[in-house]
Amino acid sequence: MANLYPMLKHLHMTFALLSVIGFTFRWVLALCNSPIRQQRWLKVAPHIIDTVLLVSALMLCWILRQYPFVSLWLSAKVGFLVLYIWLGLAALKWAKTRAKQLLYGLAALLCFAQILAIAFSRSPMGLLAGV
């Protein structure tokens, strides 16, 4: 199973990138109040991308035998993922003003940057590790 690790790692990283690009694209469309947001593929694609991302994450946890709530860095990553999802929903659906859409979207992207920093450093501090 360990021979699947490189492929799963690259799959996970690719779909993480697709996920954040997709969020950013939909967020910009929301900020512009574009009717393009209503296209079916923009409503379906994020679910497919995020499902592949989640399945690859779970498989990586299993292969590496590192699990959230056991490994501190992975727990922090999951925590920021939940916050990223909540902020993304706020930016795309719940925010009533453009200023709030902008604020929530920027905060979501900052959470994504923290998730990346945690993943690469394997430190729960992520972006704050060097401070």
Matching residue, tokens 């992207």: 109
Q: What is the pLDDT of residue 67?
A: 87
Give, for all 131 residues of the chain, the pLDDT tens digit. Answer: 779 999 999 999 999 999 999 999 999 999 999 999 999 999 999 999 999 999 999 999 999 998 888 999 999 999 999 999 999 999 999 999 999 999 999 999 999 999 999 999 999 999 988 76
Residue 18 burial by CB count (10 A; 0-12/13-18/19+): exposed, middle or buried? Answer: middle
Q: What is the pLDDT of residue 44?
A: 97
Alpha carbons 9 and 81: distance in angstroms, whole number? 17
Matching residue, tokens 């592949």: 52
DSSP state, residue 130: T
**Tokens coding 88:** 């993304």
pTM, entire model: 0.92
Q: What is the pLDDT of residue 131?
A: 67
Alpha carbons 71 and 73: distance in angstroms, whole number? 6
Alpha carbons 4 and 14: distance in angstroms, whole number? 15
The DSSP annotation for 18-51 comes to HHHHHHHHHHHHHHTT-GGGG-HHHHHHHHHHHH
Q: What is the pLDDT of residue 42?
A: 96
Alpha carbons 39 and 113: distance in angstroms, whole number? 28
Q: What is the pLDDT of residue 129?
A: 81
